[in-house]
């Protein structure tokens, strides 16, 4: 499900789980993407929590150069963990994997205006 981030969709929010954070982080490292985190910290995340995606930014890939192969278009996500050591995580997720790693749910705090 793809939801555009506009004020009319404030009743939805994006989130990741420990499993999808680790999977996307491992993929980012393997693909040589710009943003990935230290895996040791990620293993300490609670397995049953939903970690909100605070922001997502389109990050254009490039077609390669003398320095190596190209990288795909990505969404750079900022994920809030509520942990003092790393309160936010920044991970690049290729567009083709975004819906596999980032989920959408109704915002439990959204109040309908009448």
How do the pLDDT tens digits run along the chain, 114 residues long?
444 544 556 788 999 999 999 999 999 999 888 888 888 889 989 999 999 999 999 988 877 555 556 788 899 999 999 876 778 999 999 999 999 999 999 877 766 655
Structural domain contains residue 111: no
Residue 3 is predicted with a pLDDT of 47
Tell me what pLDDT residue 97 has: 95
For residue 26, being part of any structural domain is answered with yes
pLDDT (0 to 100) of residue 109: 72
- Domain contains 83: yes
Does this model's pTM top 0.85?
Answer: no
Q: What total number of domains does the chain contain?
A: 1
For residue 51, tell me if it sits in a domain: yes
- Whether 97 is in a domain gets the answer yes
86 domain-assigned: yes
CB distance 65 to 28 below 8 Å: no
What's the confidence (pLDDT) of residue 41? 87
What DSSP string runs through 26-72?
A: HHHHHHT-S----HHHHTTS-TT--EEEEEEEEE--B--BTTB--B-
82 closest CA partner among 44, 109, 108: 44
In a domain, 113, yes or no: no
pLDDT at residue 35 in the model = 87
Owning domain of residue 102:
11-61+70-106
Chain centroid to Cα 45, Å, comes to: 15
pLDDT for the residue numbered 82? 83
pLDDT for 98: 95
Q: Is 6 contained in some domain?
A: no
pLDDT of res. 113: 59
Look at residue 77 and give its three-state secondary structure.
strand
């Amino acid at each position: 499900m793809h939801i555009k981030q506009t004020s009319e969709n404030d009743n939805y929010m994006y989130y990741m789980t420990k499993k999808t954070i680790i999977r996307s982080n491992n993929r980012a490292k393997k693909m040589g993407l710009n943003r990935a985190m230290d895996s040791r910290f990620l293993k300490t995340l609670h397995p049953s929590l939903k970690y909100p995606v605070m922001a997502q930014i389109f990050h254009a890939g490039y077609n390669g150069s003398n320095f190596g192969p190209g990288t795909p278009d990505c969404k750079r996500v900022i994920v809030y963990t509520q942990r003092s050591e790393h309160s936010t995580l920044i991970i690049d997720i290729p567009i083709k994997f975004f819906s596999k790693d980032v989920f959408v749910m109704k915002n439990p705090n959204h109040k309908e205006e009448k």
